[in-house]
Amino acid sequence: MIGPLAGREKAIVLLSGGMDSATVLYVAHSRGFDVHALSFDYGQHARVELEKAARLAAALGVRHQILRLGLDAVGGTALVGDRTVPVAGKAETRFGIPETYVPARNTVFLAVAMGLAETVGAHTIFIGANDMDYSGYPDCRPEFIAAFNNLSAVATAEAVSGGRRIVVEAPLMKLTKSEIIDLGTKLGVDFSLTMSCYAPKADGASCGLCESCVLRLSGFKKAGLKDPVPYA
Amino acid sequence: MIGPLAGREKAIVLLSGGMDSATVLYVAHSRGFDVHALSFDYGQHARVELEKAARLAAALGVRHQILRLGLDAVGGTALVGDRTVPVAGKAETRFGIPETYVPARNTVFLAVAMGLAETVGAHTIFIGANDMDYSGYPDCRPEFIAAFNNLSAVATAEAVSGGRRIVVEAPLMKLTKSEIIDLGTKLGVDFSLTMSCYAPKADGASCGLCESCVLRLSGFKKAGLKDPVPYA
């Protein structure tokens, strides 16, 4: 048996190292949660984002864990393996979804986060999912988050024994990229520590051409700010 | 874009190497599915079960994939890491659930299976979850499977674009251990290739003392059969 909760309420934050999850990290921290940041090494091309995630967590002084997941063996996406990351607007689609979609990625990430939350006694998971600027990824929509919360209500030991459930929050869901940049700036996010590019160069510079770079650059422009990261 | 389905309907089978998932493997195969078996190396003590899974898949001539998941870094269970596997009836409990529960294990496994199903074009996932003999693991109950199916209906590219959804089937859910042994025997499962023990000895022998061994031995006894695996 475990004793009563000691100290602050805990939260897991899914931290990719991109600008959205960096902002969510600061949202959770500013709300007073004892934050446990979680990143995944799943064979993505943009591995430099894991270093960014580590530096972001260090900047806030929160715990950070990187888990290895063999999703590269699953395949089905242009973000891992041998395939080439498409330039913005040129992605091939399958069922109308761009090939940069990683099958079931957010389901897997939230599932592992739920396990970690059970283990450490957290009841909140933060994710940077965003429905506004994105490309129709099925697992970045409010319906998906709602369905995951219905699952978590019957999936954890504490919830099914009449105790607290684990709830996923997606505070950026209805914000545009420029609104996310405004929010992050207000909360003190150092965007120079973030990386959004799907296909960064060897020196860490962003390509400026992939869909993620184009969205990011457009967001900074609309926010009236200069993106501090280097572009090739 | 992908072309029309060629050949038989595909299914993913979660294959642990235990007697339940072995029986489910044969259920899926006997129903005519083109089976893709999936196992996980998640740091479990009972790693010999992965060899059993490979031999079971080879015996049926179906594809088999083992994925590495860093769940040992999540912890919270007696099945991975430094903790000792309890003998039957002596497990410590947390929220009334034995310490052999792996937080969110089936959620993670089904999430990865969903990603693989999307990638290979399968629409059925088989899991050996069983509600009858088990210890109240939250993610082995029909409510959990139903909630996962509600999630998958809004989580995959094909489903959200008006196409087919991926459905999880748990054909053993309401069977007792002895009924599972009867079914497996009828379908031709070689139970000598299965392993249920949570804490096998170095020579591969089952301990005979953990909850999983005790359930298995009791099932074979009720079925009037001798368990073909060696015990210490």
Out of A93, A114, A153, closest to residue B107 by CB: A114
Distance CA A140, CA A128 (A): 9
The pLDDT of A139-159, averaged and rounded, is 95
Q: Report residue B228 as tokens.
A: 């073909």
| 3 state DSSP class of B201 | coil
The pLDDT of A193-200, averaged and rounded, is 90
A72 at B interface, C-beta within 8 A: no
What phi and psi, each to the nearest 5 degrees, are found at residue B112? -65, -40
Do A63 and A36 contact (CB within 8 A), yes or no? yes
pLDDT of residue A202: 87
pLDDT at B219 over 60: yes
Q: Which of A94-98, B34-38, B216-220 has the lowest mean pLDDT?
A: A94-98
The pLDDT of B144-154, averaged and rounded, is 97
Alpha helix (H) residue ranges in chain B: 19-30, 48-60, 105-120, 142-155, 157-160, 177-187, 211-223
* Residues shown for chain B: 232
Considering only CA atoms, which of B49, B122, B108 is closest in space to residue B73? B108
Q: CA B74, A103, A13: angle at the middle one, nearest 5?
A: 40
Considering only CA atoms, which of B221, B218, B197, B219 is closest in space to residue B208? B197
pLDDT tier at A69 (50, 70, 90 boundaries)? confident
The answer to whether A1 contacts B93, with C-beta atoms less than 8 Å apart, is yes
Taking only the tens place, the pLDDT of each residue in B68-120 is 887 777 776 766 666 677 777 777 777 777 777 788 999 999 999 999 999 99
The answer to whether B103 contacts A116, with C-beta atoms less than 8 Å apart, is yes
A163 at B interface, C-beta within 8 A: yes
| Closest CA–CA distance from residue A223 to any residue of chain B (Å) | 31
Do B46 and B195 contact (CB within 8 A), yes or no? yes
Cα–Cα separations (whole angstroms), residue A171 to A20, A26, A32, A127, A188: 10, 11, 15, 8, 17
Beta bridge partners of A210: A87
The answer to whether B71 contacts A112, with C-beta atoms less than 8 Å apart, is yes
B49-53, B131-135, B187-191 — most confident range: B187-191
Question: If contacts are CB pairs under 8 Å, which of residues 192-231 in chain A contact chain B?
Answer: none
List CB contacts of A217: < 8 A, sequence separation 6 or more. Answer: A208, A227, A231
Q: Which of A65-79, A102-116, A215-229 has the lowest mean pLDDT?
A: A65-79
Give the residue with greater pLDDT, A104 vs A186: A186
The pLDDT of B192-213, averaged and rounded, is 91
3-state secondary structure A32-95: CCEEEEEEEECCECCCHHHHHHHHHHHHHCCEEEEEEECHHHCCCCCCECCCCCCECCCCCEEC
The answer to whether A147 contacts B153, with C-beta atoms less than 8 Å apart, is yes
Distance CA B112, CA A73 (A): 10
pLDDT of residue A131: 87
pLDDT of residue A42: 85
Handedness of CA B20, B22, B26, B28 (dihedral sign): positive
Reported ipTM: 0.91
Residue in chain B lying closest to A146 (CA): B151
What are the strands of the beta sheet with A167-169, ordered from one edge?
Answer: A63-68, A34-41, A10-14, A124-126, A167-169
Count helices and strands (H / E) in chain A.
7, 7
The pLDDT of A141-168, averaged and rounded, is 95
Domain ranges of chain A: 10-223
Mutate which of A137, A151, A164 to disrupt the B interface (most B C-beta within 10 Å)?
A: A151
The single residue listed with the structure tokens 């888990």 is A67
Q: Report residue A16 as tokens.
A: 């990719």
Question: If contacts are CB pairs under 8 Å, which of residues 51-70 in chain B contact chain A?
Answer: 65, 67-70
Distance CA A184, CA B118 (A): 34
pLDDT at A1 over 50: no
Mutate which of A80, A100, A107 to disrupt the B interface (most B C-beta within 10 Å)?
A: A107
Out of B116, B141, B160, closest to residue A74 by CB: B116
Residue in chain B lying closest to A103 (CA): B115
The answer to whether B108 contacts A108, with C-beta atoms less than 8 Å apart, is yes
Q: Which of A61-75, B51-65, B144-158, B165-179 has the lowest mean pLDDT?
A: A61-75
Contacts of B136 in chain A (CB under 8 A): 160
Q: How do strand A97-98 and strand B10-14 relate by DSSP bridges?
A: unpaired
B164 at A interface, C-beta within 8 A: no
Predicted TM-score (pTM) of the model is 0.92
Considering only CA atoms, which of B37, B26, B32 is closest in space to residue B63? B37
Q: Which CATH number fits domain B10-223: 3.30.365.10, 3.40.50.620, 3.90.550.10, 2.160.10.10?
A: 3.40.50.620
